[in-house]
Each structure stands twice: as structure tokens, then as C-alpha cells.
A and B are shown apart, each in its own frame.
Chain A
Amino acid sequence: MDAAVLARVPVAERTDLDLVQQYRRGDPRAFEEVYRRFSAMVYNLALRMCGDADEAADLTQEVFLRASRHLASFRGASSLKTWLCRVALNHCRSRLGRRSRRWFLPFVASQHDALADPRRGPLEEALAGEAGRSVDRALTALKAVYREAVILRDLEGMSYEEIAQVLRVRVGTVRSRIARGRDQLRGLLEERP
């Protein structure tokens, strides 16, 4: 989009590529908008991957620090969303690989309590918290490749093609991993209702 035309479009309404273009032109507000759009996705992905709120916050910081350094060279071969998601997943794998041979840690009950939504009542909070803990425990037990695929599809709502870009595998592989992950998760949830 032409710079003059772009300048008249509110930042919040600009496309991802427009934001990258704006960032290249030297407007730091573009990065703030990128953070506003994708930070929740990155944070929640990191949270479900590493199971620790503080570590997820650190990972989010690392991902966006890296993004701030490389966003100007982003060429748009994939979408900004899949690019950030891939960076986040790679950071998670790297960190967890260093920390432990396990990819995932249990998303402990205290994490849910610490991150509780203050707008909900105590009963709602308890029900949501218990349900969430149960699903998180089941997710934790999934094999890593299945868990990634299920989270990206059912939590982040990505298409098969987007997930294939993030994981750098074929769409058929994505389809298979999602199906097996869901099936294993179903079994786990039925075992531990």
C-alpha cells in the first residue's frame, strides 16, 4: 500500500503486511500494534507448552524481542501469525529441551488460581478452574507432536495449512497428528473426567 494512503488508515485496521511496511519505514507504533494483535496467542501458546506462567511471560518477551529485531526483514512468505507462532514454538522447544527431556510440564493448579479472572464469581471460577485443570492435565500427557497440533488447531483456531507452515510439515501430516491427538485426548478425558 502506498505510504500516503497507508498513513490515513488507522493503525488498528492495517493488515499485517502493512504493519511490517510501516515498521520498515520507521514507525515504532507498528510494533506496538503487532504486539497487541499477537501477544495473547504467543503467551497462551507458551503457557500451554511450558506450563508455567512466569516462564510463559519470559518466552513471550523473548519472542517479541526477536520479532523486534527481525520484523523489518520479514518478507511475507508466510503470515505474520504463523511466523510468530513458529518463533514461539521454537523458543519453547529450545527452552524446554534445555531444562528437561520432557517437553511439557503439568499446568499446575496454582497457575489457574494465579491467573483467575476477577470478573467471575467464586462458583464460576471454581468450575472453570477445575475443568481447565482437567483438560490441561490431559494435554500434558499427550505426545509432544500431537499436543502442538491440537493446541494450534483447537485452541488457536489455525487452519491445517497454517499449522503446516508453523510446524513445517505437510498438510497430511498435520491432519494425522490432529486426529491422533484428539483421539488420545478423548481417551484421557474419559479416563479422568
Chain B
Amino acid sequence: MSRHATLERLSAYLDDALDPRLRRQLASHLAICRDCCDRLAGLRRAVIAVGGLERFPPPPPPQRAMAVARDRFGLRLPGLPHLSPVFFSFALVMALTAVNLFAHGIEVSTRPWTEYVLVTAPELPEARGPEAWGQVSASREAAGRVFDLVGDVWRERGVGEVPADSLVEADSAAGRALLATHPDLAGLGDRVLLRTPGGVVELRRADRGQAW
């Protein structure tokens, strides 16, 4: 190496960042070139000066960052991979919605048929015969009995007062049992008053217009 070394090469020499061949060449050159030696010494002084700068201790851990780190795990479930707060919130809302819908579904399926008003005795005229209940628009036999249509109610002929709590839902166990033994009752209509061994009842179905 006859020419002076470049600045980059001298700097890299200080950092031991030259490949061995270049390093040997530069070392040989430095042995004979005072200018390059001086420049190298100057660079070395700069390196030592910066390297000797005092390093100050950092401030205490930033509480906000630590809080973020801690909060991040407040929602973590043991044994599960990390759930981001957004995902966790979304999953929580969906789970609560599902529980709510499930509970609502149970409520609907077990809810009594509140749309029916119990037919109680005081609401009905006394039983004195078909004419006593109003105009009979039709008569028909079913289950070996005679039924008169008064208004929209098929009333078994001779049935008098209907006691309180006499409603039997067609879809209930008792209603289904009644219709199983007397299927032709289903052809009468939505409301049928008839005598049973337990007393006079009104047989009704929930969804009017649909088959029993």
C-alpha cells in the first residue's frame, strides 16, 4: 500500500472490522506512514472520548408502561393463549348474548299460554239448555256426544257452568291425552267445552287455525 489509507479504512481498523488481508496491509502501511498514524491517533482519541462519556442511570420504571404490561394480563385465562382485550371483550359480549338467548328460549318454551284467559264460571251464563247460551249456529256429534256451536265455542249439550281453572291446553299432556282418546274432538274447533270425569273443562289450542 503506497497511497494513504482512506478514512473509512482507518476507522474500521480501530473497530477491528477489516478482513485479515486488508488489516495486514494497513498495519504495514502504518509502520511507514506518519500522516496515517496521526490520523489514526486522532480517530482513536475521538473514539475514547465518546466511549468515556458518563452513562447515567435510567429513571425508575415508567409506571404507565408497567401498568399496560400488567393490565394486558388481567384478562388472561390460565391454560389459554393470550387473548387481546378487544377479542376478550367481544367474546364476553357474545357469550353473554348466547346465555341470554338460551335463557330466553327456555322461558318461551316453558311459558304458560298466557294468551288464554281462563274461562271461569261467573263469566258464563247458567246452563239451562242450548238456547240459554245464545244462538246455536251448528250442531255436531263428536266423541259420542252432541256439541252446539255458540259463537266460536263448541259446547257439549247439557254442559252448565264451567268451573274456574278448567282450561286444558290442547298441547298440554292432559289435552293430548284427551284428543288421543277422542280424536274427533279435534275437528270441532279451537274452543270446546265438554264434560270429563274430572268435571267440565274448556279444551283450547294455542295457535288457532292450525291443526291440533
Given contacts A28-B73, A182-B43, contact A160 B15 (CB under 8 A): yes
The answer, yes or no, to whether B146 is at the interface (CB within 8 Å) is: no
B41-66 interface (Cβ within 8 A of A): 42-43, 45-47, 49-59, 61-62, 64-66
A26 / chain B contacts, CB cutoff of 8 Å = 72-73, 76, 82
Interface pair B50/A176, CB less than 8 Å apart: no
The answer, yes or no, to whether A186 is at the interface (CB within 8 Å) is: yes
A32 / chain B contacts, CB cutoff of 8 Å = 61, 66, 69
Give how many B residues have a beta carbon under 8 Å from the other chain's beta carbons: 36
The answer, yes or no, to whether A42 is at the interface (CB within 8 Å) is: yes
Interface pair B51/A154, CB less than 8 Å apart: yes
CA distance A138 to B42 in the complex (A): 14
Q: Closest Cβ of chain A: how far from B194's Cβ, in Å?
A: 69
Question: Taking chain B's interface residues, is the majority helix, strand, or loop, or is none over half, making it mixed?
Answer: helix
Contact of B50 among A23, A151, A175, A183 (CB under 8 A): A151
Q: Closest Cβ of chain A: how far from B122's Cβ, in Å?
A: 69
The answer, yes or no, to whether B8 is at the interface (CB within 8 Å) is: yes
- Name which residue of chain A comes closest to B17, CB basis: A160
The answer, yes or no, to whether B177 is at the interface (CB within 8 Å) is: no
B69-94 interface (Cβ within 8 A of A): 69-70, 72-73, 76, 82
In the complex, per-residue mask of A150-190: 1 if CB is within 8 Å of any chain B CB, else 0: 11011101001000000000000001101110110110011
Question: Taking chain A's interface residues, is the majority helix, strand, or loop, or is none over half, making it mixed?
Answer: helix
Could you tell me which A residues sit within 8 Å of B by CB distance?
A: 23-28, 31-32, 35, 39-40, 42-44, 47-48, 53, 57, 60-61, 64-65, 67-69, 71-72, 112, 115, 117, 128, 131-132, 135-136, 138-139, 150-151, 153-155, 157, 160, 175-176, 178-180, 182-183, 185-186, 189-190
Could you tell me which B residues sit within 8 Å of A by CB distance?
A: 7-8, 10-12, 15, 17, 39, 42-43, 45-47, 49-59, 61-62, 64-66, 68-70, 72-73, 76, 82
Subset of 16 A-B contacts with CB under 8 Å: A31-B66, A39-B61, A57-B59, A60-B58, A64-B62, A65-B62, A65-B65, A69-B68, A117-B54, A131-B49, A150-B46, A151-B50, A175-B11, A179-B8, A186-B43, A190-B42
